[in-house]
Amino acid sequence: MWARRMGERWWLLRLLSRHALDQASLRLGGFAARLLSPSQQRRVACQISAVLGSCLQTRRYQRTCSALQQVGLPAGTASRLGSIMLAHAWLRRMRLRHLRSLPFPAVKRHARLITWKDPQALWAAGAGRRRVVCVLPTGDVELAIAAVLDRPGAPAHYFIRCPHAPGSAEHRILSALQGQGHRLDIGSSSMPAQGWRQLQRGATIIALLDPLLMVRSALPGHRHPAPLRLARLARVPVLLAGHRNDDDGAGTLHVLGEFRLDGSAAQSDALYSTVQAFLAASPLDWMAPG
């Protein structure tokens, strides 16, 4: 009994110390960010992570490498990129911490600095139509979603499910966006079937699309990610988008394509290939699980 209690206390002490170290590193990084450009921040973080990342964050490094291999990268490439992705993930959390501290007008200004790359003008072409907009977990995805919901244009009706509790920084930003010109309904994970009901009312659904769930959906016993199931059931198109960080500025939101999944295997394959190509072209922007 004594040994078990000591083991539990040691585990708790390690957990608390890691959390304290993580928070201290983010505060230190926030201070350093005032002195270094974004490209210099990335260079320093990658150098530190290359030396210490796989040792200090062994499990996270292993999970990151595994995730990279699951989306098609060779084992050697995944191993090489693993520690760099840890550095980029830390930088992303530092930026998110800063974003949460900003008043809403500053968040809105920053979101509107995002460059949109939509060569086929798919966003404007789909205005007023029911559809599911799937945003990949890449770049600064929270800022990208804010940019989508605040996109200037004809008044639209959006629905998004927020996994964060009311009162959290993320929920406060979404609530503030409700008064910015478009109609925005915010759902919660505790209320199923909201997306279906909102689609029937003419809303555009905004959702995250997990690439790993797409990969696993091809295996027996696994289903397609929820946003894709919803689009197929409602017979509405899927618009795919993903954010990438640039060396400076707020980054670029890429509108990657529109796909109809109601019974077409070719369209499903095209969607998967587009996701895979976008991640392979810039894997460091992916928020791989870790």
49 with 149, same domain: the answer is no
18 with 116, same domain: the answer is no
Distance in angstroms (rounded) separating the CA atoms of residues 131 and 126: 8
206 with 120, same domain: the answer is yes
Distance in angstroms (rounded) separating the CA atoms of residues 252 and 243: 6
The pLDDT value given to residue 26: 46
CB of 108 closer than 8 Å to CB of 180: yes
The pLDDT value given to residue 62: 83
In a domain, 108, yes or no: yes
In a domain, 111, yes or no: yes
Instruction: Report the domain count for the chain.
Output: 2
The pLDDT value given to residue 127: 79
Tracing tokens 């910015």 back to the chain, one arrives at 180
**Helix (H, G, I), strand (E, B), or coil: what is residue 185?**
strand
The pLDDT value given to residue 227: 93
Q: What are the 10-residue block averages of pLDDT along the chain, 290 residues in total?
A: 52 46 48 51 55 62 83 81 77 80 89 94 87 93 91 86 84 86 84 86 93 81 87 94 82 94 82 91 76
Which one of 77, 101, 125 terminates a domain? 101
Range of the domain at 261: 104-285
165 with 254, same domain: the answer is yes
The pLDDT value given to residue 85: 78
72 with 109, same domain: the answer is no
Which one of 101, 123, 156 terminates a domain? 101
81 with 192, same domain: the answer is no
80 with 109, same domain: the answer is no
The pLDDT value given to residue 74: 84
What is the maximum span of the chain, computed from C-alpha positions, in angstroms? 67
Nearest to 277 by CA among 89, 71, 119: 71
In a domain, 290, yes or no: no
42-68 b/e (C-beta count within 10 Å ≥ 16 → b): beebbebbeeebbeebeebbeebbbbb
20 with 122, same domain: the answer is no
| Paired tokens of 133 | 């907009």
Sign of CA dihedral 53, 55, 56, 60: positive
The pLDDT value given to residue 147: 92
9 with 128, same domain: the answer is no
264 with 224, same domain: the answer is yes
156 with 270, same domain: the answer is yes
The pLDDT value given to residue 101: 84
Which one of 80, 101, 122 terminates a domain? 101
The pLDDT value given to residue 189: 75
Strands 183-187, 238-244: pairing is unpaired
255 with 145, same domain: the answer is yes
